[in-house]
Amino acid sequence: MFKIFKKKDKNNTDKGKPQNTVSATDTTHEVETIAETIQTETDSSQTATAGPKIRKVEGRKLDQQLEKPRNGFGKQVKNLFSIKKSIDEDLFEDIETTLLMADVGAKATMELVDKTSASVKRKNLNDTQEVYYALMQHLMELAKTVEKPLEIDTTKQPYVILVVGVNGVGKTTTIAKIARKFKQQGKSVMLAAGDTFRAAAVEQLKTWGERENIPVIAQSTGSDSASVIFDAMSSAKAKNIDILIADTAGRLHTQSNLMQELGKISRVIKKNDETAPHETLIVVDGGTGQNAISQIKEFNNTTQLTGIAITKLDGTAKGGVLFNLAKEFGIPVRFIGVGEKSSDLKTYHAREFVEALLG
């Protein structure tokens, strides 16, 4: 038995990181949060208990931000194993139902149940608590597959992040939160008000910009979104801005004209810099469940997505959508939104997330 007193996950260190990149990983605060809170035990002998055993320490901020899914999904999983049950068909059926109810999705659920069942057989597990650890282990493994924090290639100037998604998922708010995060790391940031459909959208971005002291490039409502972003790129280039984040109007994936407009935005961006956008980030609402799958499929048809931000995870009792997306697409999850304040955005780290959700 060995203990990992986790300061920062190995995968999130700077080891192996290409030069000229800056990670979106939060600064000291996040490192401290992880350091003060997570203590995991694993069984190195691989004979019996194989999963992470989580020790709770007071003051885990993400625990509090994820209180709803933790009390929903997290508690339901724990309850499954709390009453002493025998390891039989019923137990696996209950695991399956619980995962499906939490938006984990059919594919991921099948895989998790199969892997857990295989672990039981292989390791000859006879205690339900050990089955719980095995399930946690497999959830953690799946969550890890999409852990790849956004790294800013500093040879790109500006590094362009295009933010897309359906209406009301939290795009504009997430942009403000990301901008703030990078600014705190000493990067210069500019915002492009590419949502030209609603007057309120431009105002909303400007208000965030003023609040965070970040310049916003905007034109009047109704102007061409692609040109606003093109102009903002030129402006950012002239002003030596490191990162340009472009907002876009919310659009339903079924609105083909608006989806075409998104294709045009990507093409026009390439006219300014053929390597841009350097990140195309789709924002999905953590409470929308299976719908998030079709949103990502459709947006991916129009513009190649390179990252996902899952918002409003503080507001859902489910919280399993991340596993669903991980299994379905494998697109890196860059950020998780856990509240309405500009500080309520976390760089996604699998272990921290899984432990806060289910630990």
Ligand X SMILES: Nc1nc2c(ncn2[C@@H]2O[C@H](COP(=O)(O)OP(=O)(O)OP(=O)(O)O)[C@@H](O)[C@H]2O)c(=O)[nH]1
Instruction: Give the one residue of 13, 97, 167, 301 binding ligand X; rule: CB under 6 A.
Output: 167
Residue 262 as a binder of ligand X (CB under 6 A): the answer is no
Using CB under 6 A as the binding rule, whether residue 194 contacts ligand X is answered as no
- Residue list 226-255, contact with ligand X (CB under 6 A): 250
**Region of residue 284 (phi > 0: left; psi between -120 and 50: alpha; otherwise: beta):** beta
Q: What is the DSSP letter of 283?
A: E
Name the minimum Å distance from CB 313 to ligand X: 7
Q: Is the CB of 49 or the CB of 65 nearer to ligand X?
A: 65
Q: Which of 68, 171, 334, 346 binds ligand X (CB under 6 A)?
A: 171
**Vertex 31, ends 316 and 23: CA angle to 5°?**
85
- Residue 173 as a binder of Mg ion (CB under 5 A): the answer is no
Among 12, 33, 42, 172, binds Mg ion (CB under 5 A): 172
| Tokens 């039981």 sit on residue | 120
Stretch that binds Mg ion, among 81-89, 170-178, 216-224, 259-267 (CB under 5 A): 170-178
Task: Give me the least distance between CB of 214 and ligand X, in Å please.
Answer: 15
User: Least separation, in Å, of the C-beta of 152 and ligand X?
Assistant: 22
Answer with the entry of ligand X, Mg ion, none that 311 interacts with (C-beta below 5 to 8 A by kind). Answer: ligand X
Pick the closest to residue 335 from 213, 165, 196 (CA basis).
Answer: 165
What is the C-alpha separation between 269 and 236, in angstroms, rounded? 13
Q: Does 225 bind ligand X (CB under 6 A)?
A: no
Q: Does 303 bind ligand X (CB under 6 A)?
A: no
Nearer to ligand X, 54 or 62 (CB): 62
List, in sequence order, every residue forming a beta bridge with 336; answer none if it has no partner. Answer: 310, 346
Q: Are strands 53-55 and 189-192 parallel, antiparallel or unpaired?
A: unpaired
Taking CB under 6 A as the criterion, the residue among 63, 130, 195, 355 binding ligand X is 195
Burial class (CB in 10 A: 0-12, 13-18, 19+), 272: middle
Instruction: Pick the piece of the chain touching ligand X (CB under 6 A) from 70-78, 131-139, 287-295, 332-340.
Output: 332-340
Residue reference for tokens 């504009």: 172
- Distance, C-alpha 213 to centroid of its chain: 25
Q: Based on C-alpha coordinates, what's the Rg of the chain?
A: 21
Show the tokens assigned to 221.
């409502």
Task: Check residue 37 for interaction with Mg ion (CB under 5 A).
Answer: no
CB 324 within 8 A of CB 105: yes
The whole-angstrom separation of Cα 228 and Cα 196 is: 9
Instruction: Choose between 125 and 345: whose C-beta lies nearer to ligand X.
Output: 345
Specify whether the CB–CB gap between 306 and 332 falls below 8 A: yes
Please say which residue, 51 or 250, places its beta carbon nearer to ligand X.
250
We find the least distance from the C-beta atom of residue 62 to ligand X, in angstroms, to be 13
Q: How many CB atoms lie within 10 A of CB 240?
A: 9
Q: Give the one entry of ligand X, Mg ion, none that residue 312 binds, where binding means its C-beta sits below a cut-off of 5 to 8 angstroms depending on kind.
A: ligand X
Question: Does 170 interact with ligand X (rule: CB under 6 A)?
Answer: yes
Q: For residue 333, which of 281, 268, 297 has the smallest C-alpha distance? A: 281
168 interacts with, out of ligand X, Mg ion, none, CB within 5 to 8 A per kind: ligand X
For ligand X, the closer CB: 119 or 316:
316
Tokens of 287: 């409470």
Residues making contact with Mg ion (CB under 5 A): 171-172
Give the residues lining the site for ligand X (CB under 6 A).
165, 167-173, 195, 201, 250, 311-312, 314-315, 337-340, 344
